[in-house]
Structure 1
Amino acid sequence: MYLQHFGLTETPFSLTPNTGFFFGLAPHVEALQVLQTALQTGEGFIKVTGEVGTGKTLICRKLMNELPQRFHCAYLPNPYLTPDELRWAVALELGLKHSSKIDQQQLTSLIQQQLLALSAHGHSIILVLDEAQALPDESLEALRLFTNLETESRKLLQVVLFAQPELDERLAQNKFRQLRQRITFSYCLRALTENESAAYIQHRLSVAGSESGRLFSEANAKRIAKAARGIPRLINVLSHKALMVSFGEGAQQVEKHHIAASIADTSDARRHQYDTVKWLVAAAVIAVFFSGLYWFKGGVA
């Protein structure tokens, strides 16, 4: 819609996780470093958590794209599966051809044989689960039992979990203490700072072909960062809408009122601003109340 108008070659703020737009900001680089270090150890579970929209799926794809050849990766993007469905999904990802008539014990045995065969050929096998907070309790336990498959010297399977913070709340329960103790490495993604957010916006515009200088001034980029609370997905949403409004007016740059319009049209950003305003109003009312009380007491005295 606005690509030609702004001299862009592709949409800069698409919500689809695209590793071509990956930007080496501190939280994302640190998460990748933790993952890469953990995979080298060959032990147990690895967990990356973060709020909705903080970039977990992008990091997941970046990790899988850059795995050394010796790694064999099984990927489950939607792990809302029963234990039986989880075993079938893992078997398929490992390249097993089998009859649907076999029972779960036979299937588990076939998975172990395949893991041993891959390991014998020098492969390290990792199972990557995105949206892992969706795993049912029984499936979390089935996942733990997968990591019991091992040789005398190493695990046959490593598990990488990408999840929202709700997973940590569930794992804090006593019934998951065995699984919790097997998580050898973990990382919690934080939101971006205002400076990181401004750099993030400019980076995506540059990758998308912007050559006309800043379409967003630093001040306006920080306005978006504040409204988005440093969450990359919301930054993308607000930036995209601001460009649309700017294009609709025939402007060559995003202005403050374009950003205000994009915030007003985005419920999550608008609600956050409304909550902030309510807090400020409440604080002002309390201040006036105590000021009046102090004046009243002084007058009485």
Structure 2
Amino acid sequence: MTQSSFYLDYFGLNERPFTLVPDPEFLYWSPQHRRAYAVLEFGVLSRAPITLLTGEIGSGKTTLLQNLLAQIDEDVTIGLVSNAQGNRGELLQWVLNALDVPIDADATYVQGFQKLQDFLITEYAQGRRVVLVFDEAQNISREGLEELRMLTNINSNKDELVQLILVGQPELRDMVRHPSMSQIAQRVSASFHLNRMDLETTQGYIGHRMKLAGGTGEEFTPEACHLIHDVTGGVPRLVNQICDFALLYCWSEESGKTVTACMVQSVVDDGVFFYQQRIEKEAQA
């Protein structure tokens, strides 16, 4: 079965509107996403030592980050590290790999740090800035965060040679706020936390993605959107998951091209929406 024979033709869509893969082209600029992006831009342009962006799983952090990286100036060298873990020295290796800085496998930590420092000084001499981006940074240990903080101490006169952007789930914000992490907290010059979408934003989000995919934006009834928001808690990735199934159910029933609350409820009742139980537990907590 080809994708075109799926529900796409039925709704007159050019592509699936609710995939789980982050796609900057489908970014919905809600007020808080605009503010979050402004903070990211400010962090880069103001040469903030550390910029912090946190939010729930699937809240759009990675999509915002991808949009930022696509727009960044050519005089900025970017090192992107995803899901970095490990102890002292291993994190430095992640950084060197992200910046394409070669180093011998048996090099000591001091030699690796010197390699990084030499690279940063060379980039600075050529009029370039270096920004290290850590996605899923909640996986970095407190010791690792402290090691990253030390990188921001590398400077030339009054200019810092490297900036950090830390992106992660809410526990990253909690880690940075811990009293034992006061030194790294003091280096955070720009920060933003993405909350879940409210009902109005959820409705706009669903309509926006349907329009971008070639639809009218009115395929989901207000009642369906309301139920989707209740079930997902307004987390974009979860909204994508249940909307994708709702379109599938609507197509399979061939009862019209409007997704109703009853169809959404059928998705929930059939248990194909795996996050439902977790959302209910969080709501009761």
TM-score of the aligned structures, taking structure 1 as reference length: 0.87
Following superposition of structure 1 onto structure 2, how do residues 102-251 of structure 1 map, counting pairs within 5 Å?
A: 102-211=107-216, 214-251=218-255
C-alpha spacing 1:144/1:273, structure 2 compared with 1 (3 Å) = closer
- Equivalent position of 2:17 in the other structure: 12
Give 1 or 2: higher helix fraction.
Answer: 1
**What displacement does 1:131 show?**
0.9
> Would you say the 8 A contact 2:17–2:213 is kept in 1?
yes
> Would you say the 8 A contact 1:246–1:258 is kept in 2?
yes
> Would you say the 8 A contact 2:196–2:235 is kept in 1?
yes
Identity %: 28
Q: Which amino acid aligns with 1:6?
A: F
- Equivalent position of 1:289 in the other structure: none
1:23 to 23, 28, 32: 28
**What displacement does 1:260 show?**
0.2
**What displacement does 1:226 show?**
2.2
CA distance in 2, matches of 1:195, 1:66: 29
CA distance in 1, matches of 2:209, 2:186: 39
CA distance in 2, matches of 1:29, 1:218: 24
> Would you say the 8 A contact 2:223–2:260 is kept in 1?
no
Query: Cα RMSD (Å) of the superposition?
Result: 1.8
**What displacement does 1:193 show?**
1.6
| Aligned partner of residue 189 in structure 2, secondary structure | strand
- Equivalent position of 2:73 in the other structure: 68
CA distance in 1, matches of 2:161, 2:104: 24
| Aligned partner of residue 83 in structure 1, secondary structure | coil
Highest Rg: 1 or 2? Answer: 1
Q: Which amino acid aligns with 1:151?
A: S
2:276 to 269, 275, 278: 269
| Aligned partner of residue 99 in structure 1, secondary structure | coil
TM-score of the aligned structures, taking structure 2 as reference length: 0.91
CA distance in 1, matches of 2:280, 2:155: 52
